[in-house]
Amino acid sequence: MSIIDRAKSIVSGSQDDTFRYQCTSCMEIFDSEEAHMGKVSCPQCGDRNVRDFA
Ligand SMILES: [Zn+2]
C-alpha cells in the first residue's frame, strides 16, 4: 500500500480506530480517538476518571 493510499484510508475513516471509554463519575459511555486513557476527559462532565469500556 502506498503512502498516499494510507493517508486516504486515515482521512476517510474507513478504519475503526476509536476507543470506547466510560466515565466513572457520571457513567457516560463515549468514543474517543485518543488511545491514552490519561488524556481522555468525559464529554459530559469533564471528569478525567475514565475507564476502558469493552
Ligand atoms: Zn462524566
Each residue's pLDDT tens digit, 24-47: 999 999 999 999 999 999 999 999
Handedness of CA 42, 48, 49, 50 (dihedral sign): positive
Strands (E), 1-54: 19-23, 29-32, 50-52
Please give the biggest Cα pair distance in the chain.
44
CA 41 to centroid of ligand 1, rounded, Å? 8
CA 22 to centroid of ligand 1, rounded, Å? 8
Cell numbers at residue 38, please? 490519561
Q: How many other CB atoms are there within 10 angstroms of residue 19's CB atom?
A: 16
CA 31 to centroid of ligand 1, rounded, Å? 13
CA 50 to centroid of ligand 1, rounded, Å? 8
pLDDT of residue 28: 98
DSSP state of 33: S
CA 26 to centroid of ligand 1, rounded, Å? 4
Lowest mean pLDDT among 2-6, 11-15, 28-32: 11-15
pLDDT band at 2 (very low <50, low <70, confident <90, very high): confident
Average pLDDT of span 18-24:
96
